[in-house]
Structure 1
Amino acid sequence: MAQYTPAYQPNGNEIAVIETSKGTIKVQLAGADAPIHVGNFVELSQKGFYDNLKFHRHVPNFVIQGGDPNTRDLDSAQVQMAANNPFGGLGTGGPGYTIREEFTTNPNNSHEDGALAMARSQDPNSAGSQFYLCLGPQHFLDPNYTVFGQTIEGKDVIGQLRVGDVIEHITIEGAND
């Protein structure tokens, strides 16, 4: 799959406003630390890529994960059923390209409670659109997954999210035009 470099250049002021079926989460994006990941996330968000996708993975005290386009045409109950089926196909979708890892170059790559990071397959350079939010510190992930934001509002919302909950829309405040 082709490696993609986003055209969007982060300015360091971007805040992702993630509207979910459980409430709003605000994440300060780390454009200086992970410019490829932030640029990619901003571009996908501004295109409406994440609109109406569902969270497809929840591991208590670990992560809540979303951003798989394979959830777009499923309702919440269908996502819940597929999430419990190893052949359900959830967790495999992406934007049709991958981006380069930045966990080796990000000086602040720390999986704190509420950290926003990119999911990937075994290939370190396989992230695309799927992201996760940490449910508590997960520092064992630091050497292998790129953190590109930190929650500044809505950690209570993150704690309520479950499989099948909806990402209604993501707006990027402070983004360059």
Structure 2
Amino acid sequence: MDELQQIVEDMNRDGVAPKQRELLQYVGGVEEDMIGSFPYEVPEEYRNMPLLKGRATVDMKVKVKDNPNLEECVFRIVLDGYNAPVTAGNFVDLVERHFYDGMEIQRADGFVVQTGDPEGPAEGFIDPSTEKLRTIPLEIMVELGLYKAQTKLPFNAFGTTAMARDEFDNNSASSQVFWLLKESELTPSNANILDGRYAVFGYVTENQDYLADLKVGDVIESMQVVSGLDNLVNPSYKIAG
């Protein structure tokens, strides 16, 4: 806090956001240590899906094309399985399957960066065990369980990580994921068209500013779970086939 106070006194605007993120990560770690066991039961119909019962961290390494100032970048993504266990679990399971490795950035329009649409006719992940498209429900955790209450994971930060889905089918998300390229003042919580429509399950916490430099055709060289894999239950990637 003393360092943040000094940044404010020095009127160092560029230093405020990084220090805020550092403090929030510290607070998040303290809160996680206080939780202990997973605090609630996942609805029975989703209980056998890959679930992230806690937090996990994923490093995404991207090869950047046609940019003399940036050849590659590693983005760190912190996933919140406490508030989105099905969505985050699905993503971690796909990461462990190396589903995204070698995949290109498929959308970069100044508002979001998106990937996750595999080659072929399918618009998501085909589960080898069923040979069918695996989809997950729209997962929105709200404060106090009240309809239209403030969402616990809002679109309020550059690098907000969420699942894409069909516009007219809430439960059609599969593997396509996007990152928000707008700051919180442009997308205030519960005052934008995204909160409650798409499932947020994490935030990019390192190098998020470079998301704006990504273009269609840039390649995700790898995604790797660097912590929290032990919080994943029912991992399908361990099932043969």
Alignment TM-score > 0.5, same fold = yes
The counterpart of 1:30, out of the listed 77, 80, 97, is 80
SS of 1:94's partner is: coil
The 1:172–1:125 alpha-carbon spacing in structure 2 relative to 1, beyond 3 Å, is same
Please state how far the C-alpha of 1:140 moved relative to its aligned partner: 2.0
Counterpart position of 1:40: 90
**Higher relative contact order structure (alpha carbons within 8 Å, sequence separation ≥ 6):** 1
- The answer as to whether partners of 1:6 and 1:36 remain within 8 angstroms in 2 is no
1:99 aligns with 2:136: yes
Q: TM-score normalised to the size of structure 1?
A: 0.79
The counterpart of 2:101, out of the listed 35, 51, 55, is 51
- Structure 1 residues without counterparts, runs of 5 or longer: 72-88
Distance in 2 of aligned mates of 1:164 and 1:29: 25
Counterpart position of 1:135: 181
Counterpart position of 1:79: none
- Structure 2 residues without counterparts, runs of 5 or longer: 1-44, 64-71, 126-132, 144-150, 233-241
Moved more, 9-18 or 26-35: 9-18
- The answer as to whether partners of 2:138 and 2:173 remain within 8 angstroms in 1 is yes
- The answer as to whether partners of 1:19 and 1:168 remain within 8 angstroms in 2 is yes
- The answer as to whether partners of 1:24 and 1:157 remain within 8 angstroms in 2 is no
Please state how far the C-alpha of 1:5 moved relative to its aligned partner: 6.3
The counterpart of 1:68, out of the listed 101, 105, 117, is 117
Superposition map of 1:10-21 within 5 A = 10-21=52-63
Please state how far the C-alpha of 1:167 moved relative to its aligned partner: 1.2
Superposition map of 1:141-160 within 5 A = 141-160=194-213
- The answer as to whether partners of 1:5 and 1:99 remain within 8 angstroms in 2 is no
The counterpart of 1:124, out of the listed 170, 173, 185, is 170
Please state how far the C-alpha of 1:59 moved relative to its aligned partner: 1.2
The 1:6–1:29 alpha-carbon spacing in structure 2 relative to 1, beyond 3 Å, is farther
What does the per-residue CA deviation read over 1:97-152, in whole Å, with 9 as the maximum and x for residues that have no partner?
21011025584231121100000002010000000000014442012000000111
Q: In structure 2, give the amino acid aligned to 1:148.
A: F
Q: TM-score normalised to the size of structure 2?
A: 0.59
Distance in 1 of aligned mates of 2:213 and 2:96: 25
The counterpart of 1:109, out of the listed 132, 153, 156, is 153
Q: Which has the higher helix share?
A: 2
- The answer as to whether partners of 1:19 and 1:169 remain within 8 angstroms in 2 is yes
